[in-house]
């Protein structure tokens, strides 16, 4: 039973854009994130982004597992089991906070948090980065990256990334 | 002055003088000096006091192998303990202090301890465990022994960056062999990283006149330029401190003094070990006197730092490296005498000031004695990687033997001590060609400690272990090298026996009449040289050491003056208000019981099980039968481990035919998700069951209390909230302000409760609306502390608090599925094993305490009668209940269910308390308020 | 630090994995009679071999449950395959 309110820095779930040392970090809010699972989901959604693919469209799918994708800015779908498509669907728009990371040092920064290389492809974009379970993929440009961080860990993940960035 | 700076030579920059101090006295060195080379240049010789006996010590080695010159160094307010003076690069303004010496290394007040050495031999401390009493000695030993003192002030910004990288070939060591292999590999198109722990690569090359027709400096520069031109990376001032599984090499890259080294984790396809070799001491009487130094170190001091170790030098060497060394020292102006150390007994003459050496009765005056007992290859990283060692009789050394996958050893580390041979070997290895034949020109006469010799002969300088200690250990049967190490502390100092292990095991071999390889070596473990813990912790420090999960509504709680604390990995409101929490918690409990409390329940797990086999799967996962639920119904149940123990409890709701919502404990969500995924893929059809963890997509606000319905009704939610239309343990979908919500009537307080879940981005609006509606009726926000009183009054348990590692559901009064459920479920068979059927199992009961009596302490043992009563269980939860007007408790007690109504004694730290055993429910036992 | 090959994702850092047990142990059908000895064997008996072992691991980031063969002495990984195909 301890009052630690002052021990932990307050946050309100918003983060101002961060620019330093060749790194830009900002939150972005996709309109919709949908978890879709199913036995043949990867063939339903060909072109799901893997590592180190670059997502360029506004609407795309992330390959998470052999039977799961995260659809970003897809059509609205009813939650639950879709018998016809054999798909389990859940709206997860608020489950992940999304960060856009870019700049010439972005990859360097990421290499602080995981054994990561553009030469080492991996089918799933789900990774452990600085101890956080995130979805990490390239977005928009050669040196652009996007991270989906579990909502409740967005604050420490942001702190970790920015503290590391100023030390680059 | 015995040692001095030469007029020219070395790698130091004589145009850049640096000021520093040692034990309070000021000195000057040059850019490129180490602390030790700069002190030697100033004629300082005594640089420390030994660990145990406070004997004066001077430097022995010129780099990381030196056991003696250990300093506390301060620069610009940053103080680092136990710096290796021989490998600490000098910076201007450094203040070095010798460790374990007061007031200074030269005049140590405890120097008299040395006279007690007869009683302080190996195992002295261990023996005091038996007789007379170690308590008498421990404080004294702790005060007197040891190395540097820890400064507990944190150094601002002292944090290590940690990077991951990959390369094709990683070369450890930038001496002749390392440079040659790196260049050849890089020029063959391979992605190369060369690591060297010196600021300036080149190893011992600077001792030579020329290398392949060039000056050593030009040759080294050429190789470095060629490596970098071919795309290779060179990392100097970087120590490869360990090789870990799957060829991960840990590198510590030094920055400026006072900053934490940077950790590189480099995964290499191939590791080439070119770490060189070190000179080993010769064991003789008083061989620890300041001025007895390594011959190779003297050559390094001269070659790299332009420091001549002495004027009148006696050289004792058993090997063929002596001749070039003697020439080099003589050319620099020293008076050098070569003495054969294999002639007979050796003794150093003089004390703090060395006067010479006596060999076979003949005295040789000298101010400096340089010794070389043969080269010991640095094979530490080879052993980290699981490589084997082979004993080489000719070189009297352990050399790399059976090779770990993807690794090679070359140069002096591989026993290739001749330059030409090492270069040829390196280039062959780079090209995957056969190595050159032959073992080179290096020759030596075996020279190891001679048991039974007179005098105090030092084996381990850093831990003050002598030959007599090893003999004593052997007499007391600590003959295995691992036992020898721990009994005598040989090789257990920070240097991990770099200069002492070989002599120690050779001594043990000689005592037992065995061959050295039969005795074997102790285990080589990372780090190769000591590293600060910050290197390993990296960014995981302070708030980021164990970052808590943060609530979407944290700003609202802070605005409401919440006291936040960690509860199950989340930062949550414990109570609201400042000052003594007791009153706030009591007020929250009273308000919740009289009006209503509003609680942020967002961390509750929200794991959906979706798919055509979902129904069958939840029946398998749960102790209870879940499949009989209709959509919209909720049931309380347990998940068990396969051992039948309760893993988690909570409610499960059926959302529709193929979809269930598991509301597991807030702190167990990740664990439950992994548990579900494991069983889904192991023994079930994973194509027909899917598990979506949506805990953080939703936030949940709970309204609980007699006025809960009125508060929820005030939100204009289009839903009939009456008990008839919306009974306890059901769930409805509705909307709040245009946003869909899920409302569950479940209760963790025993009062009418609504759990309202909404997408997290709308949670703040919902909270605000409920708080405002609640305030009008006299409700208030409640924290976790009040909630845990409320739930205890009702007898609702917290898993892990009111249950222990062996609790089964029938211990809590939930015995029916155990008897009746037919379908298989996780843990089912364990519930009928012998242990599960015992009649003395600990069962959940309540304890009622008289008004005015003290509450039972949590953790108090429930005991029987008698002088030494046996524990029959313990108190798990205890509160002074304002609602009931007396203290209450929950606990686990043997045969508890049969003992309702009995008096029981609780014992806690010598105090006894009494209470009456009762059913574990103190509030609304009939459930009228719950179903209101 | 070891690199484990997730059958789906490829090699990843060992921190992303969780040991789930020795491979090859089938859960007894508990709807039929299971002797105490049989159940105790299932719960408690481990081979804990030195050398080549076959184990079940979970790749926590993608939840893949898979069988991995490795050498418990040299830490060399010999093979990995999804458990679900294993079961079929």
CATH number at residue B739: 3.30.1360.120
Q: What is the CATH number of the domain that holds B465?
A: 1.10.10.1100
Q: Subunits with at least 3 CB pairs below 8 A relative to chain C?
A: A, B
Question: Chain B residues with CB inside 8 Å of A83's CB?
Answer: 612, 658
Nearest CA among B306, B148, B170, B156 for reference residue B238: B170
Contact B682/C83, CB-based, under 8 Å?
Answer: yes
User: What is the pLDDT, as a whole number, of residue B1?
Assistant: 66
As a whole number, mean pLDDT of residues B501-518 equals 95
pLDDT digits (tens, 9 = 90+) for B262-302: 999 999 999 999 999 999 999 999 999 999 999 999 999 99
pLDDT digits (tens, 9 = 90+) for A114-162: 999 999 999 999 999 999 999 999 999 999 999 999 999 999 999 999 9
Q: Which of B693, B719, B745 is the last residue of a domain?
A: B693
> A115 at the C interface (CB within 8 A)?
yes
| Chain B: closest CA distance from residue A4 (Å) | 5
List beta partners, residue B600: B701
The CA-atom distances, in angstroms, between B852 and each of A36, B368, B886, B891, B923 are 59, 82, 7, 20, 19
Neighbouring chains to B with at least 3 Cβ pairs closer than 8 Å: A, C
Kindly list the residues from chain C whose CB atom is less than 8 angstroms away from the CB atom of residue B825.
30
Q: Tell me if chain A has a CB within 8 Å of the CB of B544.
A: yes
Instruction: Answer whether A120 touches C (CB < 8 Å).
Output: yes
Percent of chain B scored above 90 by pLDDT? 89
B127 found inside a domain: no
* B840: its two tokens: 């003395």
In this structure, are B91 and B193 located in the same domain?
no
Q: Do residue B584 and residue B706 come from a single domain?
A: yes
Q: Write down how long chain B is.
A: 932
Q: Do B275 and B359 fall within a single domain?
A: no
User: How much is the pLDDT for C87?
Assistant: 40
Residue C21: closest C-alpha in chain B: B678
Q: Is B703 found in the same domain as B667?
A: no
Q: CATH classification of A18-166, choosing from 3.30.1360.120, 3.90.1150.10, 3.20.20.70, 3.40.50.80?
A: 3.30.1360.120
Whether B574 and B673 share a structural domain: no
A65 vs C3, C12, C64: nearest CB: C64
Secondary structure (DSSP) of B91-134: -TTEEEEETT-SB-SSSBGGGGGGGGGGGS-TTHHHHHHHSS-H
Residue A151: which of B563, B657, B696 has the nearest Cβ?
B696
Q: Which of C14, C43, C83 sits opposite B642 (nearest CB)?
A: C43
> Residue B293's domain is classified under what CATH number?
3.10.20.440
Read off the pLDDT band of B114 (50, 70, 90): confident
Task: Examine the domain organization and report whether B529 and B626 are in the same domain.
Answer: no
A5 close contact with B: CB closer than 8 A: yes
Residues 122-141 of A with CB under 8 A from B: 130-131
Q: Both B555 and B611 in a single domain?
A: no
> What residue of A is the nearest CA neighbor of C82?
A66
What chain C holds in terms of domains, given with CATH numbers, is: 3-87 (3.30.2270.10)
CA B200 – CA B202 distance, rounded (Å): 7
User: Each residue of B17-47: b (16+ CB within 10 Å) or e?
Assistant: ebebebbeeebebbbbbbbbbbbbbbebbbb
What CA dihedral angle connects B160, B161, B162 and B166, to 10 degrees? Answer: -130
Domain shared by B265 and B379, yes or no: yes
- Spatial CA neighbour of B634 closest among B617, B610, B650: B650
SS3 label, residue B179: helix
B143 domain residue, yes or no: no
Q: Is the peptide bond before B357 cis (omega within 30 degrees of 0)?
A: no
Q: Which two three-digit tokens encode residue C15?
A: 């921190």
The count of structural domains within chain B is: 6
Residue B131 counted as domain residue: no
Q: Which residue of A has its CA nearest to B547?
A: A156
Contacts of B267 in chain C (CB under 8 A): 3
- Calpha distance B192→B235 (Å, rounded): 11
Instruction: Kindly state whether residues B912 and B781 are assigned to the same domain.
Output: no
How high is the pLDDT of residue A167?
Answer: 87
Which residues of chain B are within 8 Å of residue A38 when distances are taken between CB atoms? 690
Tell whether A153 lies on the interface with C, counting CB pairs under 8 A: no
- B654 and B777 part of one domain: no
Q: Which of B611, B656, B697 sits opposite A94 (nearest CB)?
A: B697
The pTM assigned to this predicted structure is 0.93
Residues from chain B contacting residue A9 (CB–CB below 8 Å): 543
From chain A, pick out residues whose CB is under 8 angstroms from the CB of C61: 124, 126-128, 133
**B771 and B828 housed in the same domain:** no
pLDDT of residue B130: 78
Q: Which domain does B478 fall in, by range?
A: 448-536
Give the tens place of pLDDT for each residue, B709-757.
Answer: 999 999 999 999 999 999 999 999 999 999 999 999 999 999 999 999 9
- Least CB–CB distance from A114: residue in C13, C62, C64: C13
Q: What is the mean pLDDT of chain B?
A: 94
Q: Which residues does chain A have within 8 Å of residue B609's beta carbon, measured at their own beta carbons?
A: none
For residue A86, the distance in angstroms to the closest alpha carbon of chain B comes to 8
Q: Is A111 at the interface with chain C, CB within 8 A? A: no
- Residues of B within 8 A of C81 (CB-CB) are none
Say yes or no: B403 and B261 in one domain: yes
Q: Tell me the average pLDDT across B5-16.
A: 96
pLDDT of residue C86: 43
Write out chain C's pLDDT in tens, 88 residues.
899 999 999 999 999 999 999 998 899 999 999 999 999 999 999 999 999 999 999 999 999 999 999 999 999 999 999 987 544 3
CATH of the domain at B176: 3.50.50.60
Radius of gyration of chain A (CA): 17
pLDDT of residue B131: 77
Residue B130 in any domain: the answer is no
What are the domain boundaries of chain A? 18-166
Chains with at least 3 CB pairs less than 8 angstroms from chain A? B, C
Beta pairing class for B407-409 and B368-372: unpaired
Mark yes or no for CB contact C82/A66 under 8 Å: yes
pLDDT tens digits for range B863-918: 987 778 899 999 999 999 999 999 999 999 999 999 999 999 999 999 999 999 99
Q: Does B82 touch chain C (CB under 8 A)?
A: no
Task: Tell me the pLDDT tens digit for each residue of B200-244.
Answer: 999 999 999 999 999 999 999 999 999 999 999 999 999 999 999
* Average pLDDT of the segment spanning B638-651: 97
Chain B, window 477-516: residues with a beta carbon less than 8 angstroms from a chain A beta carbon: none
For residue B770, what is the DSSP state?
H
| Cβ separation B681–C36 shorter than 8 A | no
> Is B554 near chain A, with CB under 8 Å?
yes
Measured from the Cβ of residue C31, the count of other Cβ atoms closer than 10 Å reads 10
* DSSP classification of residue A164: H
Contact C62 A124 (CB under 8 A): yes
Beta strand B25-31 with B13-22: parallel, antiparallel or unpaired? Answer: antiparallel
Q: Which of A88, A151, A153 sits opposite B547 (nearest CB)?
A: A153
Yes or no, beta carbons of A120 and C10 under 8 Å apart: yes
B829 touches chain A (CB under 8 A): no
Interface residue A66 vs chain C (CB under 8 A): yes
Q: For a pLDDT cut of 70, what percent of chain B falls above it? A: 99
Query: Contact A115/C13, CB-based, under 8 Å?
Result: yes
Please name the residue of chain A whose CA is at the shortest distance from the CA of residue B267: A115
Residues of C with CB under 8 A from a CB of B: 1-3, 14, 18, 20, 27-31, 34, 36, 39-40, 43, 56, 58, 60, 63-65, 74-77, 83-84, 87
* Residues within 8 A of C (CB atoms), A 2-61 only: none
Contact assignment for B555 to A13 by CB distance below 8 Å: yes
């Amino acid at each position: 039973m301890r009052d630690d309110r002052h021990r932990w820095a307050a946050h309100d779930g918003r983060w101002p854009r961060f620019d330093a040392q060749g790194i830009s970090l900002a939150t972005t809010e996709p309109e919709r994130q949908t978890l879709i699972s199913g036995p043949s989901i990867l063939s339903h959604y060909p072109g799901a982004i893997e590592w180190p693919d670059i997502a360029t469209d506004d609407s795309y799918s992330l390959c998470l597992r052999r039977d799961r994708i995260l659809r970003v800015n897809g059509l609205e779908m009813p939650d639950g089991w879709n018998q016809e498509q054999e798909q389990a669907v859940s709206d997860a728009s608020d489950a992940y906070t999304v960060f856009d990371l870019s700049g010439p040092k972005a990859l360097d920064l990421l290499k602080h948090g995981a054994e990561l290389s553009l030469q080492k492809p991996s089918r799933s974009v789900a990774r452990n980065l600085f101890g956080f379970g995130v979805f990490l993929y390239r977005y928009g440009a050669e040196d652009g990256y996007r991270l989906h961080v579990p909502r409740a860990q967005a604050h420490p993940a942001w702190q970790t990334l920015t503290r590391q960035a100023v030390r680059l | 002055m015995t040692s001095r700076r030469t007029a020219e030579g070395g790698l130091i920059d004589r145009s850049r003088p640096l000021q520093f101090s040692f034990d309070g006295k000021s000195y000057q060195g040059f850019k490129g000096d180490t602390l030790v080379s700069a002190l030697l240049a100033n004629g300082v010789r005594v640089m420390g006091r030994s660990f145990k006996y406070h004997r004066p010590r001077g430097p022995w080695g010129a780099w990381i192998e030196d056991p003696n010159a250990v300093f506390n160094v301060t620069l610009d307010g940053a103080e680092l303990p136990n710096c290796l003076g021989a490998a600490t690069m000098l910076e201007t303004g450094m203040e070095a202090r010798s460790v374990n010496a007061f007031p200074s290394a030269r005049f140590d007040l405890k120097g008299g301890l040395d006279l007690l050495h007869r009683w302080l031999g190996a195992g002295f401390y261990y023996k005091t465990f038996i007789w007379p009493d170690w308590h008498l000695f421990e404080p004294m030993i702790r005060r007197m022994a040891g190395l540097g003192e820890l400064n507990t002030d944190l150094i601002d910004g002292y944090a290590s960056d940690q990077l991951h990288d990959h390369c094709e070939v990683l070369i450890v060591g930038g001496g002749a062999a390392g440079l040659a292999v790196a260049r050849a590999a890089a020029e063959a198109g391979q992605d190369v990283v060369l690591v060297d722990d010196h600021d300036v690569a080149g190893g011992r090359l600077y001792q030579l006149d020329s290398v392949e027709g060039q000056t050593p400096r030009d040759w080294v520069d050429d190789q470095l330029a060629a490596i970098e031109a071919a795309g290779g990376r060179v990392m100097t001032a970087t120590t490869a401190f360990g090789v870990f599984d799957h060829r991960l090499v840990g590198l510590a890259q030094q920055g400026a003094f006072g900053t934490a080294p940077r950790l590189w984790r480099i995964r290499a396809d191939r590791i080439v070990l070119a770490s060189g070799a070190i000179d080993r001491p010769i064991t003789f009487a008083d061989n620890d006197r300041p001025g007895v130094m390594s011959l190779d170190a003297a050559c390094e001091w001269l070659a790299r730092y332009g420091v001549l170790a002495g004027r009148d030098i006696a050289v004792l060497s058993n090997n063929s490296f002596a001749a070039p060394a003697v020439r080099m020292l003589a050319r620099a102006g020293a008076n050098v005498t070569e003495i054969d150390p294999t002639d007979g007994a050796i003794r150093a003459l003089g004390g703090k000031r060395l006067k010479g050496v006596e060999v076979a009765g003949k005295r040789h005056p000298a101010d400096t004695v340089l010794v070389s007992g043969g080269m010991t290859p640095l094979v530490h990283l080879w052993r980290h990687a699981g490589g084997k060692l082979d004993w080489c009789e000719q070189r009297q050394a352990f050399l790399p033997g059976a090779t770990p996958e993807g690794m090679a050893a070359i140069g002096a580390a591989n026993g290739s001590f001749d330059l030409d041979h090492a270069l040829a070997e390196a280039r062959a290895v780079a090209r995957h060609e056969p190595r050159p034949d032959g073992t080179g020109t290096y020759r030596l006469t075996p020279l190891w400690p001679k048991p039974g010799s007179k005098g105090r002969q030092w084996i381990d300088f850093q831990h003050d272990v002598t030959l007599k200690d090893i003999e004593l250990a052997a007499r007391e049967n600590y003959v295995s090298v691992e036992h020898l190490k721990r009994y005598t502390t040989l090789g257990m100092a920070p240097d991990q026996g770099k200069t002492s292990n070989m002599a120690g095991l050779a001594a043990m071999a000689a005592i037992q009449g065995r061959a050295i390889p039969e005795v074997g070596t102790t285990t080589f473990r990372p780090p190769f040289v000591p590293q600060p813990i910050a290197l390993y912790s990296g960014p995981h420090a302070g708030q980021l050491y164990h970052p808590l999960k943060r609530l979407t509504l944290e700003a609202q709680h802070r605005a409401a003056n919440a006291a936040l604390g960690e509860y199950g990995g989340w930062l949550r409101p414990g109570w609201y208000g400042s000052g003594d929490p007791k009153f706030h918690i009591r007020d929250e409990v009273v308000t919740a019981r009289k009006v209503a409390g509003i609680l942020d329940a967002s961390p509750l797990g929200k794991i959906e099980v979706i798919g055509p086999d979902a129904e069958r799967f939840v029946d398998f996962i749960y102790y209870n039968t879940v499949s009989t639920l209709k959509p919209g119904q909720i049931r309380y149940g347990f998940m068990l481990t396969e051992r039948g123990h309760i893993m988690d409890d909570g409610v499960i709701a059926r959302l529709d035919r193929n979809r269930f919502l598991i509301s597991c404990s807030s702190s167990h969500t990740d664990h439950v998700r992994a548990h579900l995924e494991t069983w889904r893929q192991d023994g079930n059809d994973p194509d027909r069951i899917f598990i979506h963890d949506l805990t953080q997509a939703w936030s949940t606000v709970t309204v609980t209390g007699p006025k809960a319905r009125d508060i929820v009704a005030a939100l204009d939610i289009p839903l009939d909230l009456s008990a008839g239309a919306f009974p306890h343990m059901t769930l409805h979908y509705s909307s709040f302000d245009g946003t869909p919500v899920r409302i569950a009537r479940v209760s963790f307080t025993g009062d009418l409760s609504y759990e309202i879940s909404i997408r997290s981005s709308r949670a703040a609006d919902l909270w605000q609306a409920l708080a405002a509606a609640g305030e009008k009726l006299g409700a208030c926000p409640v924290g976790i502390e009040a909630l845990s009183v409320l739930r205890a009054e009702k007898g609702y348990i917290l898993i892990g608090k009111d249950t222990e590692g062996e609790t089964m559901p029938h211990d809590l009064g939930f015995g029916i599925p155990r008897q009746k459920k037919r379908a298989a479920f996780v843990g089912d068979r364990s519930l009928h094993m012998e242990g599960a059927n015992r009649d003395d199992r600990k069962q959940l009961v309540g304890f009622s305490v008289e008004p005015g009596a003290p509450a039972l302490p949590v953790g108090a043992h429930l005991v029987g009668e008698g002088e030494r009563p046996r524990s029959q269980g313990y108190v798990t939860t205890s509160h002074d209940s304002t609602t009931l007007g007396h203290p209450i408790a929950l606990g686990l007690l043997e045969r508890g269910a049969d003992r309702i109504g009995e008096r029981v004694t609780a014992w806690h730290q010598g105090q006894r308390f009494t209470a009456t055993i009762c059913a574990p429910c103190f509030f609304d036992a009939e459930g009228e308020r719950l179903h209101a | 630090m070891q690199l484990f090959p997730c059958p789906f994702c490829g090699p990843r850092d060992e921190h992303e994995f969780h040991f789930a047990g020795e491979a090859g142990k089938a859960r007894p059908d508990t709807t039929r009679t299971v002797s105490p000895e049989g159940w105790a064997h299932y719960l408690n008996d481990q081979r804990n071999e030195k050398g080549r072992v076959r184990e079940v691991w979970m790749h926590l980031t993608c939840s893949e449950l898979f069988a991995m063969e490795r050498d418990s002495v040299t830490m060399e990984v010999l093979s990995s395959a999804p458990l679900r195909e294993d079961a079929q």
